[in-house]
Structure 1
Amino acid sequence: MRTGLGVLAALACLCGAGHGQTVASPHLMDAPKAAECKVTDEWATPAENACYATTPDYAETMSYLKRVESAAPTQVKIEAFGKTGEGRDLDIVIVSRDGVFDPAALHRAKRPVVLVQNSIHAGEMDGKDACIALLRDMVVTKSKAALLERAVFVFIPMYNADGHERRSRHNRINQDGPLEMGFRGNGTNLNLNRDYLKAEAPETRAFMAMFHRWLPDFFVDDHVTDGADYQYDVTFTIDDGPNLPNGTAKWIDDVVTPGLEKYVDAHGHLASPTYINLVNDNDPAQGLAFNDDLPRFSTGYMILEGRPSMLVELHMLKDYKTRVTGNYEILAGLMELVNRDADKLIALNAAADKEAEAMGAHPLSNVRYPLALGWGGQTTPFLFRGYKYTRELSAVSGAMWVRYRHEPWNVSLPMQTGFKVTAETTLPAAYIIPAQWTKVIDVLAAHQVEMSRTTAAWSGDVETYRCAGMAWQEPPFEGRHPTFNGEAMHDPGRFGSCALVRERTSFPAGSAVVRLNQRLSKVAVEWLEPAGPDSAMQWGFFDTIFEQKEYGEAYVLEELAREMMAKDPKLKAEFEKKVASDPAFAGNPYARLEFFYERSPWYAANRVGLYPIGRLGSVDGIPVAK
C-alpha cells in the first residue's frame, strides 16, 4: 500500500494496527500498549521510532526539527514568533526550496505560502508528527521535494505549547493513543480555538503578528475529532459560504475539496469532504448537521482575513499511525494542488483583499452585510460510510445508548446544506470608538486593523444602537459570561435586540476611527457590530452599558409617578393595564416605581443600553490625525 512516507519501508512495526486500517474502539480506561519497533533509518521521526506509540515532548520535537534545520540550512529555517503564557517559545518552521525565507520577497515572487497550525488542542498533536515527517521527506529524503517547486510550507509545530507539556495518559478518554498526550486548554485554561476574534491570550496576540507578517495564501488547522464512530480516518472541511468571495467559493467546491478527497483516498486512507457532525448523536440515521465556522474559530477567522482555510479532523478512534499518516497525505495533497494552482490562488486572494477594501464605499445604504449564517433548510443526499450500530435505553444515563459494531454501514443520509442569513447589517464608511473603551480598541490593534486617532474632542450626530433584553450565560465560557450560549450557534433571541438610532454623542480626543477601506474591514465589522456572533458586545466587553448607575428613592418616585400620570392619561392607562395583567409586576413595589423612572428624562440621562460606538457615513469634519 502506498504511504508517501519516505522511511516507512525501513520501519517494521510488530504490533498495533497497520497503515490505513480501522480498529475497534479501545477499552477507554486502558492506555494503548507500547509497540515494539525495529528502526533502520537514521532520519526516522520520534513518532516513527516509537512505532507511533508515543509523540515527542516539546524538547524532543524541537531537537529533531533543529537537526533537520542543520542538515538543510538552505531550505529550512526555524523562527520564533512569540512566547506562551508560561514562557515557552512559539516557533514556525519555514520550508523553502531555495533559501528564501522572507515573506515579502516570497510574495513578490508570486510563490504561494501554506501555513499549517498544529496542536492548538494539544491532545490532538497528530499534525505535528505529520508535518515533521513531511518536512523530512521534502528536504532530507527528497521523496517529496517536488512539493516545494513553487509553494512554501510553513508550519507551527506546537501552537498550544503549554498545553502540549501538560501531558497525561488521561487527557482524552475518547482517543486511541499515543500513550501520553497534551491538554486542550492553554496555561490559563483558555481554549485557543475560541479566542481568534477576541484575542485575549498571549498566544493569539503572537499568532496575529506572525500571520500578518506572512499573510499566507492557504491556512490549515489540524485536529482530531470528538463525536461519532465511522469508517473515515480523515475528515476535512473548507468554508464555501456566501460570506466568501464567489470566486474563492467556486474554486473550493469545484477543485480543492474533490481534489483532496481523491488524493487522500488514492493514498491508502478514507476521506470525508465534510466534518461529520450528526444531527442527533444518539441516532446517526437522522443525518448530518449544518456546519458554519464562527470567527472565534481559526477557520472562521480566516474568512474575515479573505484566505481559504481547511479544518482537518483525524478520527479519534483510529490508531495513532493511521491518523498521523492520514494527516501527512492530506497535507501532501494540498501542497501538490497549491503548486499546480498557484496563480489562481494568488489571484483569488488579491480579489478578496480588494473586495474587503471596498466595503465602506456605499455607507449606510440598503446593501446588507451578513454577520452570521444558519442552516438554509435544504438537505442533500450524502453517501455516509459509517458503522452498523444498535440503540437501546441505558439504565445508567436514562437516554438512548448507541453501540457501534464496526461492520460497514454505507447508506445515503440527509446532510443539511444551504445557508440563510441569521444576522446582518448595513455598513458605515467608518466607526468611531470613544478613547476610554481601551480594551475594545486594544483587540483591534492586536489584529493590526488600521485606525486613526482624533486629535481633539468631537461631538456630532452618529448612528448607533440602543440594546435591550440581554441575557447572560451563567457558567463561565472561556473566562467570560457571554450573551450567547457557550458552544451553541448564534442565537439572536438570546442576545436580545439592538435597534439603530441617531444620537448626539461626544467623543474625547484620542478616540479611534476605523475606516472600512482596508483589507481587514471584515475583522472590524464582526468585532464592532453588536449582532456579530463573536462581537465585543456578545463577549461581554460592553456589559457596563447595561448597568444602571443612578436611581431614585421610593419617596421621590412616588411623587414623580403621580405627576407623570396627571400630565399623561395614556401613561396612566398603560400603567393600570400592566398592573391588572401582570401579577408579578403588580406585586413588586420596586418594579411599579421603576416603570415611571424608566419613562422619565432622568433615566434617559443614564443612557442604559446605548451602544457607545458611532457609525459614520463620512469622516469629513472629524479631527483625525493624518
Structure 2
Amino acid sequence: MKPFLLLFTSILSAADLLTAPNASVWVTPAMKAARNLSESTARSPKDLLTVAEKTKWEETGSYQEAVDLYRKLAAASPYARLVDIGETPAGRRMYIFVASKDKAFDAPTARKTGKPVIFFQNGIHAGENGGKDAAIMLLRDILVTKKYENLLDSAIILSMPVYNVDGHENSSPYHRFNEQGPREMGFRATAQRLNLNRDYMKADAPETQNWLKTFNKWQPDLFIDNHVTDGQDLQYDSTVAIEDTIQVHPAVARWVSEKWTPQLWAGMEAEGHVFGWYVGGPVRSGAPFLTMPFTPRFSTGYTAARNRATLLVETHSLKPFSVRAWGHYDIMLETLKVVGRHGAELRAAVEQADRDILKPGSKLPLEFAPAKSGVPYQARLLETETYTGAALGGPVLRYLAKPRDLNVTLIRTAVPKTEVVVPRGYYIPKEWSSIADVLKLHGIRSQVVTQPVTANFEVIRFEKVSFAALPFESRFQPNFEAKTVVEKRTVPPGSIFVPTNQPLAKLLLNLLEPTAPDSLLKWGSFNTIFEQKEHGADYIMEPLAAKLFAANPKLKSDFDAALAADPTLAGNPRARLMWLYQRSPFYETDKDVYPILRVVE
C-alpha cells in the first residue's frame, strides 16, 4: 500500500467515506421487503444461515463459510454433493455443487436421466456480491426446508459457490467503493490479476482451465452468471442480458424468447421487482436502447457460442445488498420454474443445436451490429441535476428520488457485421501444437496427420500490423488487415487436422479465424509471426539493390513511385533499405503469415 494511502486510511474508514454517495436514491417498498429472501431466512434452520443473513445483510461470509454451508446442505440431503474441480493459483480448492433427485452426481449419470442441467455461476468478479449468498439460500429451500423441492423433479442443478476464489479472499472495505455493502468485498481479478470474464477463449487462468474441464464434462443446457453492475443510478433493482439472436442456434433462441424470457419477466414483475434489460452505457433521450450479443471472451458470449441458453444477471450496485440478493434469488427461482414447465423442450432444442453441424461453404457471423429497427420500450430512469464539484472542478451529476420513464426504441436484434465462409477444417503445424492443446481444453476434437497431404489451401497474410502500447489481460493484442490467398502446400505428418464437422464448430471458428473478435490470434497467441528475425546491412543491401533493379525493372519503377509518394520514406535511408529488403528473395517468407491453413477443398 502506498504511504499516502496508509496515512489516509488511518484517519477515515470506508464507512466514514461512503455513508451516502454510493446508496441508490430509489428503493421501493417491495425492495425493502424482499419477500422471498426474508421468508427464506425465517424458515431456515439457524445453523444453515449465511453470515449475510445473521448480520442483516451488513456483511458477507468468507469463501470457507460458503463451502462449509454447501457441505452442510450435502450432509442434510441425499440429493446433493460437493465436487472438487481443481485448485487456484494460491492453492485453494474449487468446487461445484450438484443437486439431483436422481443422485446423478457425475456427468454421465446426469445425461442418462434426460433432465436438463442448469448451471448457476457465482463470484466470477468476487466483489460483486449477492449471487453467492442467494444461491445457497435457494438450494437450502430446495434441499432442506423443501419449500421448492419439486424443482428437482425436472432439473439437475450445478452451483459454483465462488468462481474467483482467490479474488474473493482478497477482501477489503476499500474494494468496489461504488457498491453499497457489504462491509468488505473481494477483488475483481484473480491472484494473478486476471479478469476471468475476459479469459474464456484464451484460457490463461488455472481457474478458467478448471471451469472448461467441468463444463465439457457436464455440458449444461442453461447457464446463469450472477453479476453486480456499476454505472448510473436507476429504478431497476435487477437487469438481464439474454442471448437469443444470431449468436445462438435458432432452436435454442426460440426456447429462450418464447418460453424463458416472457415467463421470467412475468414472474419477476409479480414479485415486485423493477426488472429490465441490461445495457452497459448510459441511456440518453433519442438514442436507441441496445442489447447486443457478447463476444465469446465473456461467459454468456462463450456459452452462447456453444449453443446453450444463457443469461447474464446484473443487479445494481447502488441498491442495498439484501435487494441485490433478492434479485438473484428470484431470477434463479423463476428460471427453475420455467425449466420445470419446459425442460423437455429445452433439452430438445440443445440436442438439435448439437446435431446441426455447420456446413462447409456456409457463412458464419463473427461480429454483430444492431438492426436498424426495434420495438418501443420504457426505460426506468431517475431524474438528475448537476452541481459544481470542488474536487473535480466541473459539473457533477446527482440523482434525485424522482422516477423518469423514458420512451426509447429497444434494439435486441443483431445482424452480421463480419462473416466468414466455413472451411472444411484447419491444419495446425506440429510446432504450433500448443494451439491444439487450447482447442482440446475447450472440448474441440482434432486428429494427428500420419501421411503428407498436398493440396491448395487458403493462406492468410497480414498487413499494417500494429500493437497497443499496454497489455490487456496480460496479452499484447495485434491490429492488422488480413488478406487471403490460395497456395499449394504440403502438410507434413505430425500436423494436426481440426475438422469443422463437429458440434463445437462455431466455437472453433471463433478461436481460429483471425478476424474473429476473440480469436487466439487477436489475443496474442501468434505474436512471434509479426517479429522480424533477420535484418539486412546497408553496405550489403546497396550493391545488392543494383542487381535487383537490373533483374527486375518493375521493382525499380515501384521503388521510384514509392519514394515520390512518400517524402518520409524518401528521406529515411533505413526505411528505403527495409522497403527493398522486404521485396527481395532474402526476406523471411513466414513473417506476417498465419501458420494455420484453411482447408476448402
Taking structure 1 as the reference length, the TM-score comes to 0.86
Whether 1:135 and 2:139 are equivalent positions in the alignment is yes
Q: CA deviation at 1:269?
A: 1.6
Q: 1:10-60, CA deviations, whole angstroms, 9 ceiling, x for partnerless residues?
A: xxxxxx98874379xxxxxxxxxxxxx999952433321111111110111
- Work out whether 1:611 is the aligned partner of 2:589: no
Task: Tell me which residue corresponds to 2:447.
Answer: 452
Q: Quick one: distance in 1 between partners of 2:28 and 2:524?
A: 49
Q: 2:220 aligns with which of 195, 216, 219?
A: 216
1:531 and 2:541 matched: no
1:52 corresponds to which residue? 57
User: Cα deviations across residues 493-531 of structure 1 (Å, max 9, x unaligned)?
Assistant: xx3221111234454443211111112212221111100
In the TM superposition, residue 344 of structure 1 has moved relative to its aligned partner by: 0.7
Higher mean Cα deviation, 590-599 or 179-188? 590-599
Aligned sequence identity (%) = 36
Q: 1:465 deviation in Å?
A: 0.4
Residue 435 of structure 1 contacts residue 511 of structure 1 at CA under 8 Å; is this kept in 2?
yes
The 5-angstrom pairing of residues 283-432 of structure 1 reads 286-355=287-356, 358-359=357-358, 361-362=359-360, 365=361, 367-391=362-386, 397=392, 401-432=396-427
Q: For each residue in 1:593-613, what CA deviation from the matched residue of structure 2 results, as whole angstroms up to 9, or x when unmatched?
A: 22222222222x432211111
Residue from 533, 543, 549 that aligns with 1:559: 543
Work out which of the residue numbers 25, 31, 45 in structure 2 matches 1:21: 31
Paired residue type of 1:611: Y
Question: 1:369-417: CA deviations, max 9, x gaps?
Answer: 1111123344543201111012467665567533211211112123444
Q: Does 1:440 align with 2:424?
A: no
Distance (whole Å) between structure 2 residues aligned to residue 19 and residue 518 of structure 1: 51
Verify the 8 A CA contact 1:430 1:617 in the aligned structure 2.
yes
State the one-letter code of the partner of 1:560: L
- The answer to whether 1:578 aligns with 2:579 is no
**By how many angstroms is 1:163 displaced?**
0.6
- The yes-or-no answer on 1:544 pairing with 2:528 is yes
Could you tell me which amino acid in structure 2 is paired with residue 251 of structure 1?
Answer: W
Q: C-alpha displacement at 1:567, in angstroms? A: 4.2
Cα distance in structure 2, aligned partners of 1:304 and 1:38 = 41
The DSSP-based 3-state class of the residue aligned with 1:78 is strand
CA distance in 2, matches of 1:512, 1:399: 59
What SS does the aligned partner of 1:502 have? strand
What is the rounded CA distance, in whole Å, between the counterparts of 2:394 and 2:295 in structure 1?
A: 30
Q: Distance in 1 between matches of 2:197 and 2:105?
A: 27
Aligned to 1:87: 91
Offset at residue 95 of structure 1 (A): 1.1
Counterpart AA for 2:280: N
CA distance in 2, matches of 1:290, 1:560: 58
Question: Which secondary structure state, in structure 1, belongs to the residue aligned with residue 141 of structure 2?
Answer: helix
Distance 2:545 2:412 in 1: 55
Distance apart, 1:472 and its partner CA: 1.4
How much has 1:200 moved relative to structure 2? 1.2
Q: Indicate yes or no: 2:72 matched with 1:64.
A: no
8 Å CA contact 2:43, 2:145 repeated in 1: no
Partner of 2:21: none
- Determine helix, strand or coil for the equivalent of 1:470: strand
In structure 2, which of residues 558, 565, 571 is the aligned counterpart of residue 587 of structure 1?
571
Structure 2 counterpart of 1:172, which letter? R
1:29 aligned partner: none
Over 3 Å counting, the alpha-carbon distance change for 1:136 and 1:22 in structure 2 is closer
Q: Which residue in the other structure is 2:175 paired with?
A: 171
- Is 1:500 aligned with 2:495? no
Q: Is contact 1:424-1:531 (8 Å) kept?
A: no
Native 8 Å contact 1:435 1:507 kept in 2: no
State which of 190, 194, 200 in structure 2 corresponds to 1:196: 200
| 3-state SS, counterpart of residue 430 of structure 2 | coil
Which SS does the other structure have where 1:431 is aligned? strand
Distance 1:552 1:270, change over 3 A: same
Aligned to 1:147: 151
CA RMSD of aligned residues (A): 2.4
Q: Name 1:101's counterpart in structure 2.
A: 105
Deviations 1:577-619 (A, max 9, x none): 332332211211111122222222222x43221111111235x
Maintained 8 Å contact 1:549/1:606: no
Contact 2:459 2:486 (8 Å CA) reproduced: yes
Gaps of 5+ in 1: 1-15, 24-36, 484-494, 619-626
State TM-score, norm by structure 2. 0.89
Contact 1:122 / 1:163 at 8 angstroms: preserved in 2?
yes
Shift of 1:204: 0.8
Tell me, in whole angstroms, the C-alpha distance in 2 between the residues paired with 1:59 and 1:243: 37
Q: Encode CA deviations 1:94-123: one digit per residue, 9 max, x unaligned.
A: 112243323323322221110010000000
Structure 2 counterpart of 1:275, from 278, 283, 291:
278
- Which residue is 2:15 aligned to? none
Give how far 1:130 is off: 0.5
Q: Distance in 1 between matches of 2:258 and 2:203?
A: 33
Q: How many residues align?
A: 568
The answer to whether the 8 A contact 2:293-2:414 is kept is: no
Deviations 1:199-232 (A, max 9, x none): 1111111111111111111011000001121011
SS in structure 1 at match of 2:289: coil
Shift of 1:268: 2.7
Distance in 1, matches of 2:304 and 2:427, equals 24
Q: Which structure's residues are more often helix, by fraction? A: 2
2-structure distance, mates of 1:62, 1:587 = 68
SS at match of 2:475: coil
Paired amino acid for 1:516: T
> Aligned in 2, Cα 1:395/1:415: closer, same or farther, shift over 3 Å?
farther
Structure 2 unmatched ranges of 5 or more: 1-25, 34-40
Residue pair 1:80, 1:91 contacting (<8 A) in 2 also: yes
- Contact (CA 8 Å) 2:130, 2:325: kept in 1 or not? yes
Classify the secondary structure of the residue corresponding to 2:467.
Answer: coil
Q: Residue 466 of structure 1 corresponds to which residue in structure 2? A: 461
On the 8 A contact 1:475/1:481 being kept in 2, the answer is: yes
Change (3 A) 1:504 1:19: farther
Is the 2:279–2:291 contact (alpha carbons within 8 Å) kept by the matching residues of 1? no
2:162 is matched with which residue? Answer: 158
* Cα distance change, pair 423–504 in 1 and its aligned pair in 2 (3 A): same
Inter-CA distance 38–128: structure 2 relative to 1 (3 Å threshold): closer
